[in-house]
């Protein structure tokens, strides 16, 4: 049950007896920690499991999400808001004054003390007798009743005058006035009997106001809402409702396994990666019931460490982003409180997950805009965690020295051109079909040029096919360079061996290649020039095909691997671009050829400059159905050939424009995002001209006082079609640390372009 059948070799082409390369030595299996790391948001694993995750639109951070209204409530302008509050206060004060001073009695209402009738009905008759010893109780009841009436009157006036809105807007800035008022009270004469009562009432109000101010400044309402949304840890919950008790296992009759995991959850020895990994194994058991005995044995023997990753690791060395492995999301920011964002999405968390990355993501922004730190690094970290949970395979491609994640976060770190690299890269992607291998290699060598990659693939197949038929493997880089370059000795030696072996069909392929090489426009010259970038002393121990060394093939993405490829961009920039195109071509080929697509496969290119080709754009579109996706980061769309910029934006489902985007790049995004219908209000001011003498005098005095002529407003409301984000807005209105992001899921759900604050 160590693998639960998740990483067993599948299909006929897995690279031989050892399809998955391993590190130089057996990886040390760390001892199971006594306390698993808490989820990234700082709560215990039990509270994390019990936090609600409601269904939400694509890209919303679901952990503890609270839905917002679809429409923004109408905001009353400050002037009528304050005027209405003052009028409501004065009206309430006047009514209370008239009531207290008995002006609302006698012939007005025919009954004396009519407003005291409810209290008189409840108070015994003996309390109202002046000779009774209980007269003090009557006085106390009267004051309490008066206080209740005054409170109800204040609440009613507050609701009519919208005092809560005034407090929300101006309460905190005006709270020092409450502190200054005691000095005024102390200066007033104490001979007034009601002043003591007013003073006491004032201090009660002062304490309440201070508590309200401190609560608002300290975000007590937010804390209260979170506590209301999160079930308390000490509250008893039914086993079938509490995810910490593993109700699915109990429902299947696995009470012992459920008790073991529930105990580990409450003790804190089970982490969020463990939870996701065991849930993944249980899903495999439900689809293949024959795995049930192995699953129960693994849980009984290993507890929280059951069904472990082949590396033996249960978490990453360090986390820099906030993750929720229950939903597979990683938080990258929050939707800005901006008018261009829908009101329902403002201030909500923004997250990415495999359901969104399965449509692929394109991020464009200049250097320093935050693509690596605020997007690529969280995505790579999330995919590594998913791989530890046996849910994903990730290949991250970056320049050497870029701090995407520490080496300990990966199973393999491949660095072509560096002697410390423990693994080699398979030049032919683990394929044994010459035509398939030639097509992928031609895509890497000349895919970025105007040359026909099909002609290049044919030329390569006419050489590597005959070579493999007599040697049992494809040619290495030096041999391939000689064959493509038409070196007579290399071609003559290959011909001799083919004739000796009686390979007539392969001889015809070789003869056809020789005839084509005599043409002036032969593609072999271009191929030889490109292969020369890889035939350098620094790469002498790489791209070997003789079986020596340990090679990594992209066919291994059928296993939950974490791989990082460091490209030698500083000294071999052109070779780095060829390797990046090779990895992209091999990844799309391997992802589409998988027989088991239960693992999500993700390729992350930190710099996709000169990597996008016509074939790769078509392949990216097909990855949605293969449970795979790519993340492409570009400094500018100018790094993509002009004919491919529009198709690339259309091929990916998630698009991200960072701050500092060039206007011509913004124009491409604006065209892709299209237009929307919005409601506009046009206000026209028209001066009022009157012939009446009195009206003229009033208008003249108003002009003297305000300095403005009397005008009348005319408001025109209409619907117009405008761009969601224009090129100018994308280039000049996106603040630093922000990006405009549109999302789409593999199920077809869409989210409009949102201005996202990547710093929260």
Give the confidence band of 730 by pLDDT, cuts at 50, 70, 90.
very high
CB neighbour class for 685 (10 Å; exposed up to 12, middle 13-18, buried from 19): exposed
Task: State how far the alpha carbon of 241 is from the alpha carbons of 238, 246, 651, 728, in Å.
Answer: 5, 9, 42, 51
Rounded to the nearest 10 degrees, how much is the dihedral formed by the CA atoms of 533, 539, 542, 543?
10
pLDDT of res. 53: 93
Task: Record the tokens describing residue 628, joined without a space.
Answer: 């795979």
Q: What percent of the chain has pLDDT over 70?
A: 79
Lowest mean pLDDT among 24-33, 106-115, 179-188, 327-336: 24-33
Lowest mean pLDDT among 214-218, 433-437, 622-626, 659-663: 214-218
Q: What percent of the chain has pLDDT over 90?
A: 52
Q: What are 269-281's pLDDT values in tens digits?
A: 999 999 999 999 9
Average pLDDT score over residue span 484-507: 90
**Which helix (H) or strand (E) segment is 210 a member of?**
helix 193-217
Q: What are 693-703's pLDDT values in tens digits?
A: 877 777 777 77
pLDDT greater than 60 at residue 341 = yes
pLDDT greater than 60 at residue 106 = no
Contact present, 637 and 665 (Cβ < 8 Å): yes
Average pLDDT score over residue span 165-172: 68
| Cα 503 from chain centroid (whole Å) | 56
CB neighbour class for 217 (10 Å; exposed up to 12, middle 13-18, buried from 19): exposed
Give the confidence band of 379 by pLDDT, cuts at 50, 70, 90.
very high
pLDDT greater than 80 at residue 105 = no
pLDDT of res. 352: 97
**Measured between alpha carbons, how far is 319 from 381 in angstroms, rounded to an integer?**
7
Task: Record the tokens describing residue 431, joined without a space.
Answer: 């394929």
pLDDT of res. 388: 96
Q: Which of 658, 750, 677 minimizes the C-alpha distance to 717?
A: 677
pLDDT of res. 363: 97
Q: What are 645-674's pLDDT values in tens digits?
A: 999 999 999 999 999 999 999 999 999 999
**Measured between alpha carbons, how far is 547 from 538 in angstroms, rounded to an integer?**
19
pLDDT of res. 149: 76
pLDDT of res. 130: 56
Give the confidence band of 400 by pLDDT, cuts at 50, 70, 90.
confident
DSSP 425-447: E-TTTT---HHHHHHHHHHHHHT
Give the confidence band of 10 by pLDDT, cuts at 50, 70, 90.
very low
Q: What are 603-615's pLDDT values in tens digits?
A: 999 999 999 999 9
Task: State how far the alpha carbon of 397 is from the alpha carbons of 217, 567, 606, in Å.
Answer: 45, 7, 6
Q: What is the pTM of this model?
A: 0.78
Give the confidence band of 528 by pLDDT, cuts at 50, 70, 90.
very high
**Measured between alpha carbons, how far is 292 from 744 in angstroms, rounded to an integer?**
36
CB neighbour class for 419 (10 Å; exposed up to 12, middle 13-18, buried from 19): exposed
Q: What are 203-242's pLDDT values in tens digits?
A: 566 556 555 554 554 445 544 544 544 444 334 444 457 8
pLDDT of res. 29: 36
Residue 464, φ and ψ in degrees, nearest 5: -75, -25
Task: Record the tokens describing residue 493, joined without a space.
Answer: 């030696």
């Amino acid at each position: 049950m160590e693998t639960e059948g998740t990483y067993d070799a599948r299909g006929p082409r897995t690279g031989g007896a050892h399809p998955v390369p391993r590190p130089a030595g057996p990886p040390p299996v760390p001892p199971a920690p006594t306390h698993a790391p808490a989820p990234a948001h700082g709560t215990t694993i039990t509270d994390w499991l019990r936090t609600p995750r409601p269904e939400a639109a694509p890209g919303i951070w679901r952990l503890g999400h609270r839905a917002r209204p679809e429409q923004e409530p109408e905001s009353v302008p400050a002037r009528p808001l304050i005027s209405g509050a003052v009028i409501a206060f004065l009206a309430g004060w006047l009514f209370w004054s008239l009531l207290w001073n008995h002006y609302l009695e006698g012939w007005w209402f025919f009954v004396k003390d009519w407003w005291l009738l409810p209290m008189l009905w409840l108070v015994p008759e003996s309390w109202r007798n002046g000779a009774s010893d209980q007269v003090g109780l009557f006085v106390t009841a009267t004051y309490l009743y008066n206080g209740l009436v005054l409170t109800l009157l204040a609440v009613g006036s507050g609701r009519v005058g919208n005092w809560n809105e005034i407090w929300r807007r101006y309460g905190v800035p005006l709270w020092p006035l409450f502190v200054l008022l005691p000095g005024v009270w102390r200066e007033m004469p104490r001979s007034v009997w009601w002043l003591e009562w007013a003073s006491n009432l004032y201090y009660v109000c002062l304490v309440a106001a201070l508590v309200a101010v401190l609560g608002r400044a300290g975000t007590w309402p937010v804390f209260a809402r979170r506590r209301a949304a999160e079930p308390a840890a000490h509250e008893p919950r039914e086993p079938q409702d509490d995810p910490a008790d593993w109700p699915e296992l109990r429902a299947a009759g696995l009470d012992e396994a459920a008790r073991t995991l529930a105990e580990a959850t409450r003790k804190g020895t089970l982490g969020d990666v463990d939870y996701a990994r065991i849930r993944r194994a249980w899903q495999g058991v439900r689809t293949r019931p024959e795995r049930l005995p192995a699953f129960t044995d693994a849980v009984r023997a290993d507890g929280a460490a059951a069904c472990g990753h082949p590396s033996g690791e249960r978490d990453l060395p360090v986390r820099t982003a906030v993750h929720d492995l229950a939903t597979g999301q990683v938080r990258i920011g929050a939707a800005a409180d901006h008018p261009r964002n829908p009101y329902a999405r403002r201030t909500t968390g923004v997250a990415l997950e495999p359901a969104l990355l399965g449509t692929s993501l394109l991020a464009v922004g200049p250097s320093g805009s935050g693509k690596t730190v605020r997007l690529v690094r969280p995505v790579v970290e999330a995919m590594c965690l998913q791989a530890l949970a046996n849910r994903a395979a990730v290949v991250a491609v970056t320049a050497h020295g870029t701090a995407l994640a520490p080496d300990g976060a990966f199973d393999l770190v491949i660095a072509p051109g560096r002697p410390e690299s423990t693994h080699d890269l398979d030049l032919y992607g683990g394929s044994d079909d010459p035509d398939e291998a030639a097509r992928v290699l031609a895509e890497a060598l000349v895919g970025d040029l105007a040359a026909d990659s099909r002609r290049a693939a044919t030329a390569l197949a006419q050489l590597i096919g005959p070579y493999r038929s007599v040697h049992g493997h494809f040619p290495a880089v030096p041999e391939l360079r000689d064959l493509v370059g038409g070196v007579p000795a290399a071609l003559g030696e290959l011909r001799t061996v083919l004739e000796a072996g009686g390979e007539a069909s392969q001889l015809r392929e070789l003869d056809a290649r020789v005839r084509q090489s005599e043409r002036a426009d032969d593609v072999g010259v271009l191929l030889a020039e490109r292969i020369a970038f890889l035939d350098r002393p620094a790469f002498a121990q790489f791209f070997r095909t003789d079986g020596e060394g340990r090679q990594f093939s992209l066919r291994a993405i059928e296993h939950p691997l974490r791989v990082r490829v460091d490209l030698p961009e500083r000294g071999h920039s052109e070779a780095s671009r060829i390797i990046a195109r090779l990895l992209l071509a091999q990844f799309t080929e391997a992802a589409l050829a998988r027989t088991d697509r239960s693992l999500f496969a993700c390729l992350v290119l930190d710099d996709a400059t000169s990597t996008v080709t016509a074939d790769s754009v078509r392949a990216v579109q097909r990855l949605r159905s293969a449970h795979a996706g790519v993340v492409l980061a570009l400094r500018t769309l100018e790094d993509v050939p002009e004919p491919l910029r529009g198709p690339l934006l259309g091929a990916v489902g998630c698009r991200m424009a960072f701050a500092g985007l060039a206007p011509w790049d913004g124009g491409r995004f604006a065209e892709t995002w299209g237009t929307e219908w919005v409601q506009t209000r046009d206000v026209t001011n028209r001066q009022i001209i009157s012939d009446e003498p009195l009206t003229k005098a009033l208008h003249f005095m108003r002009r003297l006082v305000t300095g403005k002529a009397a005008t009348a407003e005319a408001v025109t409301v209409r619907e117009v079609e405008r761009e969601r984000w224009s090129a100018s807005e994308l280039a000049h209105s996106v603040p630093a640390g922000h990006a405009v992001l549109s999302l789409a899921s593999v199920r077809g759900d869409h989210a409009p372009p949102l201005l996202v604050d990547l710093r929260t």
